[in-house]
A and B are shown apart, each in its own frame.
Chain A
Amino acid sequence: MNKTMKSLLLVLTFMLIVLITGCNGPKLELKTENNSNKIAQGESVQLVVNETGDVTYEVTKGSAVVNATGLLTCSEEAEVGSRIEVVATSETGTAKLTLSVEQAKLKSIELSCDSTEIKKGQKVVLTTTLNPAYAKVEGVTYTVTKGSEFAEVVDGKLQIKESANQAEIIGKTIEVTATTLETGLTDKVELTVVEALVEELILASDAETLSYGKVVNLNVSYIPVFAGGNKEYSLTIVEGLEIAELNGLELRVKEGLTEAEIVGHVIRVKAVLNENAQIYDEIEIRVVEAEQINIVVSDKTFVAGENATEALLPEAYDANFNLMDLDATDFTYTSSNENVVKVGANDGKLTPVGHGSAQITVSYRNSSTTCEVFVIVVPEAIEFSGLSTHVLTSRRYYYAKHETLSFALDITPNENYARNDQNVQYKFELLNEAGEVVNSGAEVATISEGAITFHTVGSVRVTVTTDSSLNGKNTASHEKSTSIVVNVNEGINIRTLQDLMAYTDYSYRGKAANFINTIKLDAENNPGLDDALRYKTLEFEGDRYMYGNGYVIDLLDLPLSGSVGNSNDFLRFLVFGSENTHTLELRDLEIIGVCDIDGLYVGNNAADKGKEAVDGSYKRGIRIGRVQQDGMGICTDLDVINVKVSGFNVGLRFEHVVDGYASDINVSQCASNGMELNQNIITLNNITVGQVGAFAIEMTPDDMIKEADGTIHGTSGLGFNEAPRTTLTGYIKSTNYNNGKSTKYMESLQLSGYTIPEILMMIVSQKIQYVAQEAASQTGMTVEQCQGYLADIAYRCLFKDADPSQSLMNFFLLVFIDPTEEVFAGFTDGNKNSIFGTYESGEEDGNVISIDKVLMDAATTVINGGTYDEYKNYKYVLMDLDLTSAMGFNLGEVLVVNEYYNK
């Protein structure tokens, strides 16, 4: 078939149809405006008819409505695929239109969300609105199209990623796009990121209960955890403030409460956000009984100033008695008496303050214990006071038994620690001569109210010991003590001149006089000291024991009193009664007279100052012995020990003493000789001579064997027929020189027509030669060398100082022999090599003095390269008394003279 045929056929068909229809006449026709027989859910379509007259429309089937104008609206709920039939009725008839319902079509979507802002932790719901709403959509996807690095959509909700750092994204924009799956419709929405703030506070604790001494640690957290903004909060105890306290986040029970006061209480703590009081949280902590802790700490005895450790060392044991790992600083400490001991509140270090005991309370948590700290403050020293220096030095005190003795004590307090009182303990021991204790306790002496009553005579050692003991603590090793031996005797104690005068009574023979204070011979202290008594000799007969205890009889207040004659001695032990032999013991006494070395008054009476005093005052300080062989007794047992005399014409004179011993004698400031010894058998030991007007010691023996006939004219000994012997031991020290001045006595002195300087010259020169020979033989040096040395030694020893310009007149010491005795002849006749040759009587080695020894020692020193300093001491210790020297010589008389006046 060709094309033309086909077209013709079509036209014919068309024409047929028109013909057929046209044939039916005008007929109501109904159709949709768009001539569709389909309608979508909810869709409205305009129905049209082919007439202009009145037409009514009716939905006869299906879910739709039609209005009078023919607008057919399909119900939104109409079932897809169902049919809607509409009938139009007009005058010309009816027409029916059937439409099939089809799915409504989506036109657009709208994306929305419930907030324009988003913060971390927030989930913003994304909502897509369909247009029309009843349109069906297969699905919508949401995409973060802006800000996807920190935002995401999860389950249709927009949120900030967990990993996002809030601080970095605040203010940023997030764009979310919704896209329909089938139709590809899209919509967008934008949100701004804002800061997430605290929404909720959470207050927590590490324990639900609190006990005394423990700490509950609180914790405050935020929701959201990443919340920014001002997160400050306030923590307060809203309940239980009376028993608990907060320190930061630490909650604890207040100090000082008992278990009963706190156990069972509830502590409520509230945390409130400062920015927003509506945001808060509360917690409840219940107070329960504390765990039992046991503290133990040792007592401490603290001897102030002596302890090495000064801190307490407490230990704490838990409820199972296990040692807790605590240091001393974990405990707290208080002292019950800070006047005794202070304790470091947090370290337990002790600071002793004063004598006594105190309790230290050591606490840990709610447990505590106490220990006792004893602070024993021992004084620095204890010493007797009010006694003479001599008594304190010698530790010996002579005292009469019939009197009680109260010692004053000088207790030197511990300078660093306080103590109000100090007890002392007395101990009494009777000693024998060897110093051994032979008895002690109440049989020896007792003490009552500080007064000691002696129940025996003899040497009683009184020991006073501080008693610092506390609570029975043995403090013996720390105590200080002092002791003194009291020589208890049956004598009397001498306090005044009157006492001493009373002692002159013969009835006191054989008894002791104990000086217990200094006696000043003035009217005030010695009433009755009138002119009649002044310069009265105090004469003692029989056995006498005079113990000065180091005290002084001070005569300086005595005015001069005309001429009292040469025989007036102050203390005279001259006549020893009818018995043949007597004992005298005189010790530890000083007597001060009014003379100076020129015999002028130097006492305290202004009117007498500078006057000639020799004839107006006592002549001798002490005179012992006798002169004449008249059948009277003599002193056969003499001990003069530690006696010091000054200010008289002659200090001390011994005459015809047998078995005498004078030791530690000090004589000075006498107008004539310091000591005079006449016809004694006596030992002198340790004699010190100060400046005197004449010779320090004058010895005048008259027992010489006359060279002419060999007869002995001795006057010593019991029978007045023995040679006097003066044994020198120890030392003789002399400072009897006067720096170039002379005394009146020496200025007028000549011996056998020779001046003293002349005598000295000869002595020294000869002696040097003699000793040089000996020295040469011992040292291997030549005599000349030794002479040179010795000359130098002698010069340096004997001269005041080493200046060669000084003359020989500077001698200040001389061993000198009285020219009136024959021994001196050796010097004058020139036949002998030396006046120091062996004394011809030669009967006693005891009288040997070795000046040689002095010089030899000095020679050795020089030969060995000694210095001037080493031997210049010989200036003062000039006589080293060597009793064994073979080179010795017997001295009839030793005079220690003063530096002689250079005429």
Chain B
Amino acid sequence: MNVLKVPKHAIGIFILPALLLYICIVFVPILYSFYVGTLDWNGYGVSKFVGFDNYHKLLFDDPYFWPAVRRTFLYAAASMIEIPFCLMMAVLLNRYVRKANTLVSIYFTPVILSVVIIGQLWKTIYNPTSMGGMLNQALISVGLESWAHTWLAEPKIAIYCIYFVSLWQYFGYHLLIQFTGVQNIPSEIYEAAKIDGAEGFKADRYITFPMIVPIFKISLVLAFIGSLQSFDMVWVMTGGGPAHATDVLATYMYTQSFNSQEFGYGSALASLLVVLCLVFTVVINTVMNRIDKRFS
């Protein structure tokens, strides 16, 4: 790539304001968390240095930590698996609907609404039969009574119910991103391909997919990050219960820091989350480079 010749101070002017702000607001707290993670501390009283006890306990002696890690990354995986479907929808909308913009905007509405609303709505859907839950009523009306559950109160399935709501809510979000990407592909390319006999899905295979890769990557990263930070949805739907069965890392950290008042322990958890993020960022980067290579 051609690179502009710029004076040295321009680099500083362009980068430093954002970088300084970012380091102060996001990075310093991370470092602080690593430090507090070595303390036995409630956050405001007398603190005691305990070395790596908190980290050790988390990794080897906490029955709720690893399941929360697993659920968090499963969450991430589920959100990322959704994206190909969003891309497919974007392609279909672009091809079969003349004024697709309006549709995309409609699909986006759940994203705009606050999680408080979404949570309230889905709780009424998931309610047990005796409380008039809509999902169970629907199942019963088609003769699938044995499929009825107390969805959010069963430790084995509650978390999947929450995943589903998130996927549903963020469908429009990723669709919007993919759709703008698809629209951005100049129509001349398709026309040229048409002459060469590539139409429909064949054109998608050789034109749409390769050209959409950068946008696809953005969606993947956004989905991944969004899931690691996910807090609100779980908090509103189940509060992490029953008995931690739906805790993800952010909710477990919050419970430890503020409800159990084990702030040191909660901070250790936060710093481990950072480490896990680092590892997975590398993994994702590798995967993406593979995708890049495959399509270029």
A and B associate in one complex: no
A residues at B contact (CB < 8 Å):
none
